[in-house]
Structure 1
Amino acid sequence: MKEFITHINTIHSLSSQAEKALRNICSEVFIVKGKELQAIGNRCTNIYFVVDGLLRIYYLKNGVDITESFEAEQALVARADSLFDARPSRKGIQALEDTQLVAVNTPRLFTLYDQYHDIERLFRIVFEQAYVKTVERIEQLQFHTAEERYQNLLANAGSIVQRAPLKHIASYLGITQVSLSRIRAKF
């Protein structure tokens, strides 16, 4: 819990009352490697903070498993499509390593917004950052070659390459494992 509070205070500082209220709606969660944190088709009712470990967000397209993103230490993770619309998510969240998390109960979080404007501001900033990350990801896929995307992954999240299975890395980059092997051979 300490890592979570420290992290969010680097995004936006909370009053001691707001911090206490936020702590009261959080719980610690542990998920083992290979297990689903959230299965496709379930509603998202938590925002997760990764204390230690590695998750991937994925979806199925025509029966093919596609990795949308990797989320490691200090990441805040949620399925926005489900979180805000209260509908089943089209995406799942899976642990690629044993993962320790802090879960923030979002129905309770949203009720705190009116009472603690610093909490509301904090999560507005969090969601703005997530939006920017999504736009950057779309631009990577649209405007960069597979090799450039791999170089970007190495530069910005190099530990993922060491920690995630190659099939998920290839899927994330939008290429086959054979193409990924060719690209990796160049480095």
Structure 2
Amino acid sequence: MDLFAFFDTIYPISAKAKEALKQLIREQRHAKNEIVQGIGSRCRTVYLVKTGGARIFYYKDGNDITEHFAFENELIVRAESLFTGNPTSKGIQAIDDTTLLAIDSEKLFQLYDQHHDLERLFRLIFEREYVHTVKRLESLQFKSARERYLELLETTDFVQKIPLKYIASYLGITQVSLSRIRSSLG
């Protein structure tokens, strides 16, 4: 889907706002497993996945943990760093050959004063991501690993391209448990 057609499904913006935003968008191509933003860096970019997929990850007790996946027309941003300006203990990695649309956050936020419809659009996008995060936390609290896996399958057909270790850590289970769940589904 065209980016602006996607934006229109959330909140239509004026032609002037679209033109101003187009000036900020930079297409980035990342190879499979390439680090987009490293752990310890500051997030100054809002990314939307055009093709492929990416993940937010961190290390805990030496284990690589996947916190979030993003696929076509989904936002991927380390919000805790974007909004505070502080470095973060999380990174962003491409999980396949991936094309991202990168928007400089400082320039985007400056456009808000001139284009209130742009501010509303991105507020709604960030709100959707916040709700997604809350639902993910509730899923971890209240649903079984099997239910969480089925939810992931409903989210994307990209699952076959995601390494099992990333899926298992995202679900909060071991790869062995994930293999059992997958085999029970046939």
TM-score (norm 2): 0.96
Question: Identical aligned pairs, as a percentage?
Answer: 51
**Matches of 1:36 and 1:143 in 2, distance apart?**
32
Alpha-carbon distance between aligned partners in 2 of 1:96 and 1:155, rounded to the nearest angstrom: 18
Q: Does 1:168 align with 2:166?
A: yes
Aligned to 2:90: 91
In structure 2, list runs of 5 or more residues that go unmatched: none
Unaligned runs of 5+ in 1: none
Q: Is the 1:54–1:70 Cα contact (8 Å) retained in structure 2?
A: yes
Letter in 2 for 1:12: Y
Aligned residue pairs total: 185
Q: Which amino acid aligns with 1:124?
A: R
SS at match of 1:147: helix
Q: Which residue of 1 aligns with 2:21?
A: 22
Q: Structure 1: how far apart are the matches of 2:41 and 2:146?
A: 35
1:54-99: CA deviation from partner (whole Å, max 9, x where unpaired): 1111111111110011111111111101100001122111011111
- Preserved contact between residue 70 and residue 160 of structure 1 (Cα < 8 Å): no
Q: Which amino acid aligns with 2:32?
A: K
Aligned equivalent of 1:126? 125
Residue 76 of structure 2 corresponds to: 77
CA distance in 1, matches of 2:66, 2:15: 38
Asked whether the 8 Å contact 1:4–1:102 carries over to 2, the reply is no
Residue-by-residue CA offset, 1:152-179 (whole Å, 9 max, x unaligned) = 212233x232110011111110000001
- Offset of residue 20 of structure 1: 0.5
Please tell me whether the aligned partners of residues 47 and 103 of structure 1 are also in contact (alpha carbons under 8 angstroms): yes
Report the alpha carbon displacement of residue 37 of structure 1 after superposing the two structures with TM: 0.5
Shift of 1:25: 1.2
Measured in 2, the distance between the counterparts of 1:94 and 1:141 equals 22
- Provide the C-alpha distance between the structure 2 equivalents of 1:183 and 1:160, rounded to a whole number of angstroms: 18
Which AA in structure 2 matches 1:15? Answer: S
Letter in 2 for 1:25: L
Structure 2 match to 1:101? 100
- Counterpart of 1:117? 116
Aligned to 2:54: 55
Instruction: Tell me the residue number matched to 2:176.
Output: 178
Deviation at 1:3, TM superposition (A): 2.2
Aligned to 1:102, what secondary structure does the other structure show?
Answer: strand
Q: For residues 103 and 3 of structure 1, what CA distance do their matches in structure 2 show?
A: 15
When the two chains are superposed, the root-mean-square deviation of aligned CA atoms in Å is 1.1
Give the SS at the match of 2:13: coil
| Poorly superposed stretches of 4+, deviation over 3 Å | none
* More helix by percentage: 1
